[in-house]
């Protein structure tokens, strides 16, 4: 089990993972975690135990900051010994999937405590990452400033280049494509530079593939890049979500939902999990499951109130279902974020998917009229945000 977990963690390129032989010198000993960290030269320690009862096994694990002994994460995994290899694979991928965002969050906190006069390229990247995850236009611009400083110090630092490409993507989404050529030019150039500098880093591959797939026409090439990232690091939770986005853009909504649900399974406590709900919500919308889409997007917007795209799909869902007052209330909230209610660009390759969203947005924004729903249909729509309504009927 330890070997499987070490192998899974070693695929996370930004982690330095101690090999099995060194780790096993502490097996069965009651040791001080701070001493382990000092002796091995590591900042974090993963420890755990395995207990067996009959044909069942319980595995516990906890992640500890070796500098101060603080617990960062703990969980347990239960399974059957009937297929021990499957159990080992599932536990290893689950542990690795949870640990990556947990460690990244710890590193972001550590970087925030450093004086601004002592920032490294890595610190600048870490400070930009939560700003990117906010999906707020002003914070996204600040993230680009930080990343620009990092790139000035090291023009071949792949993570900063790739994340900067992602920032331009999100700015284009929030601004509705009003300055699309500028964002496209910068994003594509940064993504290609990132691939040239660190094309074997799963994180770089993921952000670069997303930007190229969003702005470019070669969606199949972008999907090949994200598939390569997931081959290199199968427990890369954010990578599975980015893969969901690309499948969504390509029109494969079932795969988009499947890959995004894999991301949620690998990292169920990820603070950015609401982004996954947006992917699922848009896929459900395209599948004309408007009630389910609205329910998913409603939850997501509680965590990302400054992200334009969920509001657009949320409003279009209500417009297609019937309650125009609700749809227009959402449009009012959307206008406080961006003036581009109806975007000039959508990344969906299927024209029917684009038109489904645009037609709903036009109705919600009052640009076109449509016949109101019947009284019986209005009653059916009362449960719209509970996900009960499948509008394909």
Q: How far apart are CA 225 and CA 219, in angstroms?
A: 10
Task: Dihedral sign for Cα 158, 159, 164, 166, please.
Answer: positive
Question: Can you read off the two tokens belonging to residue 34?
Answer: 């701070």
End-to-end CA gap in the chain = 48
Q: How far apart are CA 14 and CA 162, in angstroms?
A: 14
Q: Do 143 and 150 meet the contact criterion of CB atoms below 8 Å apart?
A: no
Q: Which residue has the tokens 């390509």?
A: 250
Domain 2-112 identical in fold to domain 115-234: no
User: 3.20.20.140, 1.25.40.10, 3.40.50.300, 1.10.10.10: which CATH number matches 115-234?
Assistant: 1.25.40.10
Strand order in the sheet with 44-53: 44-53, 56-65, 71-80
Helices (H), the chain: 2-10, 20-23, 33-40, 84-112, 121-134, 137-153, 158-174, 180-198, 202-215, 219-232, 237-250, 253-266, 273-286, 290-303, 308-321, 324-335, 351-364, 375-380
Please report the pLDDT score of residue 118 as a whole number: 64
- In three-state secondary structure terms, 348 is coil
Q: How far apart are CA 238 and CA 231, in angstroms?
A: 14
Q: Which residue has the tokens 């889409």?
A: 293
User: 3.30.70, 3.30.160, 2.60.40, 3.40.50: which CATH number matches 2-112?
Assistant: 3.30.160
Please report the pLDDT score of residue 370 as a whole number: 58
Domain ranges of the chain: 2-112, 115-234, 259-393
Residues of the chain with pLDDT under 70: 116-118, 369-393
Fold type of domain 259-393: 1.25.40
Question: Can you read off the two tokens belonging to residue 227?
Answer: 């598939």
Kind of pairing between the strands at 71-80 and 56-65: antiparallel
- In three-state secondary structure terms, 90 is helix
User: Tens of pLDDT along 343-382?
Assistant: 989 999 999 999 999 999 999 998 776 554 433 333 343 3
Q: How far apart are CA 216 and CA 229, in angstroms?
A: 19
Residues 6+ apart with CB under 8 A from 72: 44, 63, 64, 65, 102, 103, 106
Q: Do 301 and 310 meet the contact criterion of CB atoms below 8 Å apart?
A: yes
Residues 6+ apart with CB under 8 A from 387: 291, 292, 294, 295, 296
Cα dist from 344 to 31, 169, 171, 172, 174, whole Å? 60, 14, 13, 10, 11
Please report the pLDDT score of residue 392 as a whole number: 35
Helices (H), 233-380: 237-250, 253-266, 273-286, 290-303, 308-321, 324-335, 351-364, 375-380
Report if pTM > 0.85.
no
DSSP 43: S
């Amino acid at each position: 089990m330890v070997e499987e977990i070490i192998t899974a963690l070693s695929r996370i390129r930004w982690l330095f993972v101690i090999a099995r032989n060194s780790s096993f010198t502490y097996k069965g000993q009651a040791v001080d975690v701070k001493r382990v960290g000092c002796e091995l030269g590591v900042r974090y320690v993963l420890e755990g135990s395995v207990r067996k009862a009959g044909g069942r096994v319980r595995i516990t694990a906890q992640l500890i900051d070796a500098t101060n002994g603080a617990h960062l994460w703990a969980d347990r995994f239960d399974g059957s010994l009937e297929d021990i290899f499957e159990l080992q694979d599932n536990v290893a991928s689950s542990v690795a999937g949870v640990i990556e965002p947990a460690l990244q969050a710890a590193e972001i906190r550590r970087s925030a405590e450093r004086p601004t006069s002592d920032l490294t390229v890595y610190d600048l990247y870490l400070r930009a990452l939560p700003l990117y995850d906010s999906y707020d236009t002003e914070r996204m611009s600040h993230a680009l400033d930080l990343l620009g400083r990092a790139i000035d110090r090291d023009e071949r630092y792949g993570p900063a280049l790739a994340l900067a490409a992602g920032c331009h993507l999100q700015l284009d989404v929030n601004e509705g494509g009003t300055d699309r050529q500028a964002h496209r030019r910068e994003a594509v150039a940064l993504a290609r530079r990132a691939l040239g500098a660190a094309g074997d880093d799963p994180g770089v591959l993921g952000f670069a593939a997303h930007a190229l797939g969003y702005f470019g026409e070669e969606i199949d090439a972008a999907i090949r890049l994200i598939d390569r990232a997931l081959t290199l690091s199968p427990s890369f939770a954010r990578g599975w979500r980015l893969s969901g986005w690309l499948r969504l853009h390509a029109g494969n909504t079932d795969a988009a939902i499947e890959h995004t649900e894999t991301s949620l399974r690998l990292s169920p406590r990820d603070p950015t999990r609401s982004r996954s709900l947006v992917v699922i919500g848009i896929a459900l919308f395209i599948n004309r499951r408007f009630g389910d889409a609205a329910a998913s997007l409603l939850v997501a917007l509680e965590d990302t109130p400054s992200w334009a795209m969920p509001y657009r799909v949320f409003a279009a869902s209500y417009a297609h279902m019937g309650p125009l007052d609700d749809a227009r209330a959402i449009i009012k909230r959307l206008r406080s974020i961006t003036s581009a209610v109806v975007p000039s660009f959508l990344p969906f390759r299927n024209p029917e998917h684009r038109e489904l969203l645009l037609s709903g947005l036009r109705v919600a924004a009052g640009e076109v009229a449509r016949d109101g729903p019947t009284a019986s249909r209005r009653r059916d729509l009362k449960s719209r945000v509970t996900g009960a309504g499948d509008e394909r009927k």
